[in-house]
Structure 1
Amino acid sequence: MKTFKKGMIACAASALLLTTACGGGASGQAGGKEAGKTAKPFEGKKITVFVQSHPWTDTIKGALPEFEAATGMKVDIQGFSDTQLQQKLAVQFTSASESPDVFMFRPYMDKILYAKNGWTTPLDDYVKKDPNYDFNDFVKSAVDENMANNKLMGIPIFSDQFVMYYRKDILEKKGISVPKTLDELKEAAKKVHDPANDLNGFVARGERNALVVGVSSYLFAEGGDFMKGDFTTGATAAVNTPEAISGFQIYADLLKNYAPQGVLNMAWPQAAGIFAQGKAAFYTEVASVYQNVTDPKKSLISDKVGFAMFPAGKNGMKPFNVAAWSLGINSKTPNKDASWAFIQWATNKENVLKVQRNGVPGTRSSVWEKKEGTETYPQDLAATIKETMKIGIGHNVPQLISVGEARDTVGSIVVKAVLGEDIKAAADKANAELQAIIDKDKTK
């Protein structure tokens, strides 16, 4: 079995170069003399991979020796903090460096800039070369988020779904059903809000830049979005439409009326901390941080947390499902085939399952259908993630080049509304500023 497994790794790695090397299916011939000629198609090759320090990275590093032994390739995986990774990539790309060969990036933040500057290698042809890779198994919204100029710029490696966290014990005590609409969420938050006893009805991101991810599903649920049209073919700012303002208003009202003091300074770690301390009844956030509130070492309410679909608005149930991080190939690397062999291996079904079992939501549909793919998650969370993947919106921030600047602009609408300023005036001002950013980006 071990020999066969290594043979399959070698076959996957050599698919681009030796299209017939894997003939014979499960015959396990990787150990024979003939197989020996093709079992290490990348003998002597070395590639460098820049990644974020993350549980995904730890899992892949743990499996790497087998891949190297089967392919003859050496893989130097270098991990950095999020900020360090962005800085390192910026230096390497702007200097037209051949290294790193492979890199981890945030498609929702980086794909348009990277594609426009020619820093990434389109992968459309690579994913078609080996049918066993089963590219169609990847969740569509996660793939869509890696598209720029109608070309595939990266392979999604893990995902984020926007869900609702809630306190099962509090809802049971109060006789409140799990909210299915945003109106029901507001009513439920109001009923349980009891700041005198250190219990808030709601908590979520309130810091100006961070909250844009949090508010996006509220916009979608009300029928709004950040922009109309596609940036590459022509887009206009849309944060002051009635639908968008409605979404901003609901989120702002929840923060203003039912969240703890200081919420405008909170990104997700601080909001998760409030919820984990048992000081809030509802929390809307990405599913991938669930261990922060279900791990007994981190949470006072670890056995009291429930998960449900993000509630529906006037436009229905529209939570986002995005590729949080993806793998791309440097357009300047001379090792494109070796680089793809690594990506193909790292994102095959077996490794996605390993990563997912370690708490990192993967982007392959088949893995979510396996018992092994969901049994390490709370049952209601797994069901919620699977459903969100089917219906999710494939972005959660404005889709342009200057994403950070745009987030600051959009987030100001909620901040001003929480502080009591006129939300329509705030949205009109932000819309003009966002349009200016769009126009400026088009000249880059």
Structure 2
Amino acid sequence: MVDMTRREALRAGAAALAAPALVERANAQGGFDWRRFRGERIEATVQLSPRGQFLQKNNAEFEELTGIKVGLEVVPEQQHRQKIIVEYASGRPSFDVTEISLHVNKRQVGKARWNTDIKALIADSSLTAPDFDFADYGEGMVSYATQADGRLDSCPAGADYFILYYNKELFATRNVGIPKTWDEMAEAAKRLADPSKQIHGHVGRGVKNANVVLWSSYLLGTAQRDMIDANRQLITDTPDAIWAGETYRRFIRDLSPPGSIGFNWNECQTTFMQGRAAMWVDGIGFAAPLEDKARSRIAGKVGYAVVPRGPGPNHHCALFGAGYAIPEASRKKGPAWFYIQWALGRANQLKWLTSGAGVPARSSPFRNEEAISQSHFPREFFQTLEASAKIARAGLPEIVPVTQFRDVIGSALTNTLGGADVATELKRATAEFRPVLEQSERES
């Protein structure tokens, strides 16, 4: 078997116990020992996702390996983000380990210096397992997790690339090729639609806030590719931004199911897995439920491709990501760091990939040919993932008021679905949000 069993994990822990320290320190107690903090208890909070459910399912493995008890809570995404910020701000967070949405909270937690810089923990051979191998993490995700002042205040966990999901059966029936540009995708959506069977050519996020990441996917294919410029000024009403808005409106209003104005990812996923949409652009993490034969009518019929190109010289897919962090206020940084090492170690990151739970921040899983060949995901899935990693770019600006940004721009995009002029809406939204961003930058 490719996956590490609990017994094998324990043997690996015993081997680590016997391993010599990699870096000798004056106050070192000897080599690394997975059982060093046995009897301790930590609290961890992560988002409800395939990754969170994976950790929940395998929590006993960590407890048996280390002797550390873990109170693990798995909280829906939006509530989780709100919860941790409230607790951080109180100065007394209830958790010792938390998941951080880098595309939402990175600048906020960095500015407040709420989290521990894990560089010192990584460098301490008595606290870091010899086989943890931090160099295995991809350069892009390490950069994404690093604050502007150089502090690495979360450990890179996973990347979420936006990709194109397509229904292979529908494509074959209509003899349609995989679109390479957004215009080709729009034409393909028209050909693949079958109103008599309630099949639509496309489905995508229409509800405000959630829809901004689809709009930014189009923007990343233009000459602009950013939402703020080098001087950190807002640029969301440029000709390229307006083109992205018009493309967004075309796909959601003209090519998607009625009622899409209220669709978030969950409604999109349900529509696509029921075979009622030919194409869907969204995060790679939805591959697992789409391939679940117990839930999805199209399991085994899902195609995977990089997002199409736009009219500009750039070809990027939107990147979002998460890191696992230790609050500076935690009194159990050692046991917390042990948990992060286990959760984001080579074995578990490989399992994330092969099970479809998420895209690991590490590089080694992509080189594990045996695991990939035995996965229930098609090779096309892994090829798309590897290709997307090469063209990925942040899908949201790194700003503190990112949620407000998504609300303001998202409302403008939603208004266009009701018939409002795209340019007018984006200019209004840009004018509304610009002073908010400027105030935030002055306070940074």
* TM-score, length-scaled by structure 1: 0.86
- Amino-acid identity (%): 27
Distance 1:338 1:14, change over 3 A: farther
Corresponding residue number in structure 1 for 2:4: none
**1:5 equivalenced with 2:17 (yes/no):** no
What SS does structure 2 have at the residue aligned with 1:205? coil
State the Cα distance separating 1:333 from its structure 2 match: 1.6
C-alpha distance in 2 between matches for 1:207 and 1:134: 41
5 Å matches for 1:400-411? 400-411=399-410
Distance 1:418 1:343, change over 3 A: same
Kept after mapping to 2: 8 A contact 1:212/1:411: yes
Corresponding residue number in structure 2 for 1:421: 420
Partner amino acid for 2:12? K
The correspondence for 1:122, drawn from 117, 129, 146, is 117
What SS does structure 2 have at the residue aligned with 1:105? strand
State the Cα distance separating 1:125 from its structure 2 match: 3.4
C-alpha distance in 2 between matches for 1:379 and 1:71: 36
State the Cα distance separating 1:135 from its structure 2 match: 2.1
Corresponding residue number in structure 2 for 1:292: 289
Corresponding residue number in structure 1 for 2:3: none
C-alpha distance in 2 between matches for 1:405 and 1:164: 27
Corresponding residue number in structure 1 for 2:35: 40
C-alpha distance in 2 between matches for 1:298 and 1:69: 32
Kept after mapping to 2: 8 A contact 1:7/1:70: no
What SS does structure 1 have at the residue aligned with 2:317? coil
CA deviation string 1:48-67 (max 9, x = no partner):
22223444334334544454
Distance 1:224 1:436, change over 3 A: same
5 Å matches for 1:39-438? 40-97=35-92, 99-129=94-124, 132-149=131-148, 150-229=150-229, 234-313=231-310, 314-323=312-321, 325-361=322-358, 362-374=360-372, 375-393=375-393, 395-438=394-437
State the Cα distance separating 1:266 from its structure 2 match: 0.3
Range moving further from structure 2, 142-151 or 250-259: 142-151
Kept after mapping to 2: 8 A contact 1:9/1:67: no
* Stretches of structure 1 lacking an aligned partner (at least 5 in a row): 23-37
Distance 1:372 1:421, change over 3 A: same
CA deviation string 1:103-137 (max 9, x = no partner):
11211111111111221112233344556422232
C-alpha distance in 1 between matches for 2:181 and 2:61: 49
What SS does structure 1 have at the residue aligned with 2:316? coil
Distance 1:326 1:434, change over 3 A: same
State the Cα distance separating 1:327 from its structure 2 match: 0.6
* Stretches of structure 2 lacking an aligned partner (at least 5 in a row): 1-6
State the Cα distance separating 1:437 from its structure 2 match: 2.1
What SS does structure 2 have at the residue aligned with 1:201? coil
Kept after mapping to 2: 8 A contact 1:353/1:372: no
C-alpha distance in 1 between matches for 2:66 and 2:296: 43
State the Cα distance separating 1:392 from its structure 2 match: 0.9
C-alpha distance in 2 between matches for 1:270 and 1:369: 34
Kept after mapping to 1: 8 A contact 2:227/2:396: no
C-alpha distance in 1 between matches for 2:66 and 2:192: 58
C-alpha distance in 2 between matches for 1:55 and 1:300: 19
* TM-score, length-scaled by structure 2: 0.86
State the Cα distance separating 1:223 from its structure 2 match: 2.7
Structure 1 stretches of at least 4 aligned residues deviating more than 6 Å after TM superposition: 11-17
Kept after mapping to 2: 8 A contact 1:163/1:287: yes
Give the number of equivalent residue pairs. Answer: 424
C-alpha distance in 2 between matches for 1:373 and 1:142: 22
Kept after mapping to 2: 8 A contact 1:139/1:389: no
State the Cα distance separating 1:334 from its structure 2 match: 2.6
C-alpha distance in 1 between matches for 2:430 and 2:307: 26
Partner amino acid for 1:119? W
Kept after mapping to 2: 8 A contact 1:14/1:341: no
State the Cα distance separating 1:195 from its structure 2 match: 2.6
Partner amino acid for 1:345? W
CA deviation string 1:150-189 (max 9, x = no partner):
3222123222111111122222232221111112112212
What SS does structure 2 have at the residue aligned with 1:308? strand
Distance 1:124 1:12, change over 3 A: farther
Distance 1:244 1:19, change over 3 A: farther
Range moving further from structure 2, 87-96 or 62-71: 62-71
State the Cα distance separating 1:366 from its structure 2 match: 0.8
Kept after mapping to 1: 8 A contact 2:326/2:333: yes
Kept after mapping to 1: 8 A contact 2:326/2:336: yes
Kept after mapping to 2: 8 A contact 1:161/1:321: yes
Distance 1:63 1:290, change over 3 A: closer
C-alpha distance in 2 between matches for 1:297 and 1:13: 47
Distance 1:163 1:41, change over 3 A: same
State the Cα distance separating 1:236 from its structure 2 match: 0.8
State the Cα RMSD in Å: 2.7
State the Cα distance separating 1:296 from its structure 2 match: 2.8
Partner amino acid for 1:261? P
Range moving further from structure 2, 128-137 or 12-21: 12-21
CA deviation string 1:194-217 (max 9, x = no partner):
334422221111111111122222
What SS does structure 1 have at the residue aligned with 2:202? strand
Partner amino acid for 2:121? Y
Distance 1:40 1:406, change over 3 A: same
Partner amino acid for 1:89? I
